[in-house]
Chain A
Amino acid sequence: MPKCTINGVHVEVKDGATIMEAFYKLDQGIAHYCYHPGLSVAGVCRLCIVDIEGNPRPQIACNTVVTEGMKVTNQSEKIKDGVKWVLDFHLINHPLDCPVCDQAGECGLQEQYMEYGKYNSEMAEPKVKKHKVVDLGPTVVLDSERCVLCSRCVRFTDEVSKTNELGLFNRGDKTEIGTFEGQELNNKYSLNTVDICPVGALTSKDFRFRQRVWYLKNSETVCTGCSTGCNVKVYYNKEGTFRVKPVFNEKVNGHWMCDDGRDIYKFVNVEHRQTVAHKITAGQKSEMVPGLAATEAYQVIKNTDDNNLAVVLTGQYTNEEYETALKNFKTKNIFHWKNKDENWKDFDGLLIRGDKNPNSKGLETALSKAGLKSDWKDLESGITSGKFTTVIVAGPENIKAYPCFDDRVKMIAKAENVIWMTACSSESFKAFHNNALIIPMKSYLEKAGTFTNYAGLDQSFKKATTIVSHALTLAEASFLMTGQTLPMPATAAVSKFIDDSRRTDQVMIENRKKNEFVFKRGNL
């Protein structure tokens, strides 16, 4: 465990750790492009130069191992000047098309120029022209002129996705990133290259030109794409949600996430959502408010015997919702609907799992805690034999992940009364011809809760935004459906409102009174 001093701050790092890791550990700023904590060291951008005491020339922090008693600084004039001119070299052939570049606003070149650069270019030669708008594959577009050749994307396909599609071609200022002849960048993790690209060279086809990044807010949440439960950031504004990016979590996903998980913003946008409740009686459809529909459902449930009532749950709701729902529904016929039984346990070795629900484990735990065990076949036979007259379904949000969705809707539609709770609308709901109620639910972005991932790790997330304001959560719906009123959130006996909102440096009213005489006329 060698100890070193970074800009005068003592730090102890692991054996074999580099100076860059020590900088990361202390959260101190250092300019760099090619270093990424999730990838191997390349040392090609030469931007992370630091001064080591006793060493006459600057060294790169990313590829120099910390030794005992090393004194490192990147605040000296020599280093500041050095970084500035290395940055100038990076920008020699940069096309400066920030207005049309999607990365503008979160670009490494813009940020580091403002922090370390601020020079006037001394380059008089014409810029080298390279390929623009190169179609690399189904998800990514390349602009070679913007590329700073940090080789992060090449190392990513080499080390993480292990697909080896990308390479560096040609030499000197003609060097370009590209794919090999006849090959395209097409793997399940390809969009990570866009995230790690420090400039706008790689852009996502899905997000390209849809929003400027400074119009977007973000909120950390848990990916609902599969049971891995990657930590993600969802970017949204009042026009909808636009993209998903991974957040580092060592225990779950590291730095990465899969391309399928990046689609989880799509079904929460209002155009895919069930915005009003539908009541279908003998083929006649009428619209109503979700809360009213839930109380109508109570009238149906009240008249059904507990033995004739079946509840179907999917692994796309939170632990808190399951707990409340299982407490409220007194029936023992509770079924767990899985997206696909065959590849339920699939795993691709990196992140993607066959269980396409974020919280199957949480549902299983909740069911076993309540002592419930049921087989899907019982539901099928129960509906065909007419045993289950009323079926309550808490359907999936991410309908795309359920290839059996259409068949299952048709099967359940045979029941006399169906109460279907769903966040997303679907064409399959046309199958309802008996009595049915479709109640809109809140999506994972609109509620707080906890998901338990495949390994049993509980991950809490908070509410990000509101998209369908009057939609219900499963907990709220279960209260209304069992004839109860919604519980008001309990307030603390002593109001902490004022204390919480007070700034630490705020002047208290007593102190203000004491100071009052100072400002009186005559005393000054």
Chain B
Amino acid sequence: MSVVSNKPDKSHWYFISILGGLFITAKHLIKNLLNKDKMMTLNYPEQKFEYSPRFKGNHVLTVKKDGAIRCTACMLCATNCPAECIKIIAAEHNDPTVEKFPIAYEIDILRCVFCGFCEEACPVDAIRMGPEWQTPGLSGSAFTYDINHLAYRPQLKGGVVSVVDEVERHKSGI
């Protein structure tokens, strides 16, 4: 245990440091008043910061060219997920070329650690981490994103098209 000894003769010198702090504050105030464009702070709800497109924000499920969900329900993302926040229920598709597809795909975003491992594990570019990061909600259930929210939420404007296309792959003989 350490004992802090209070030395009264030295404690008067705090006043100089306060003046120094006030000087820095005043310097920034004048700088910002004179040059508003270079101000470091944002008026948050009105002004929003744009992160780079590589920012790992909320997940996006990509779609095929016809608008159907690209995911094949292989569960590699769910297997790779360190937070175990992905839940998929697979089902048999009527189209034999599709074969397997997810009827439920849920991400518990409050559990998610935004590590991006799901994106890395995905063999068909079906899941990506999008640039969105401001996602408030009123209740806990609002943070469990279902398949429709992940693929077709209004911000995505009809869905993000995946780069992996099964039809083209088959045509090229792979």
Q: Which residues of A contact B (CB under 8 A)?
A: 96-100, 104, 125-127, 129, 132-133, 208-210, 212, 214-215
Contact = CB atoms under 8 A, between A and B. Distances in A.
B72 A100 contact: yes
Given A99-B124, A125-B173, A126-B173, A209 B96 contact: no
B130 to A, nearest CB: 22
A209 B73 contact: yes
Interface in B79-129: 79, 90-92, 96-97, 99-100, 123-124
Contacts of A99: 72, 74, 76, 100, 123-124
Interface of B: prevailing SS: loop
A132 B99 contact: yes
Interface of B: 72-76, 79, 90-92, 96-97, 99-100, 123-124, 170, 172-174
A100 B100 contact: yes
A100 B96 contact: no
6 contacts: A99-B123, A126-B172, A127-B173, A132-B96, A209-B92, A215-B79
A126 B172 CA distance: 7
Nearest to A205: B92
A401 B91 CA distance: 29
A120 to B, nearest CB: 14
A438 B155 CA distance: 55
A208 B173 CA distance: 27
Contacts of B76: 99
Contact of B99 (A96, A133, A210, A215): A133
Contact of B74 (A100, A125, A208, A215): A100
Contacts of B99: 97, 100, 132-133
A97 B97 CA distance: 11
A133 B90 CA distance: 16
A180 B153 CA distance: 49
B90 A209 contact: yes
A96 B173 CA distance: 12
Contacts of B73: 100, 209
A212 B87 CA distance: 13
Nearest to A104: B74
A122 to B, nearest CB: 15
Given A126-B174, A215-B79, 15 more contacts: A97-B99, A98-B74, A99-B124, A125-B173, A126-B173, A127-B173, A129-B170, A133-B99, A208-B92, A209-B73, A209-B91, A209-B92, A209-B100, A212-B74, A215-B75
Nearest to B124: A99
A88 B171 CA distance: 22
Contacts of A98: 74
Contacts of B91: 209
A126 B169 CA distance: 11
A133 B92 CA distance: 10
Nearest to A134: B96
Given A99-B124, A132-B96, A133-B96, A212 B72 contact: no
B83 to A, nearest CB: 16
Contact of A127 (B75, B124, B174): B174
Nearest to B122: A99
Nearest to A128: B173
Contacts of B90: 209-210
B75 A212 contact: yes
Contacts of B97: 132
Contacts of A208: 92
Contacts of B75: 212, 215
Contact of B79 (A100, A209, A214): A214
Contacts of A97: 99
Contacts of B100: 99-100, 209
Contacts of A209: 73, 90-92, 100
Contacts of B173: 125-127
Contacts of B72: 99-100
Contacts of B79: 212, 214-215
Nearest to B123: A99
Nearest to A95: B174
Nearest to A141: B92
Contacts of B170: 129
A132 B74 CA distance: 18
A132 B96 CA distance: 7
Contacts of B174: 96, 126-127
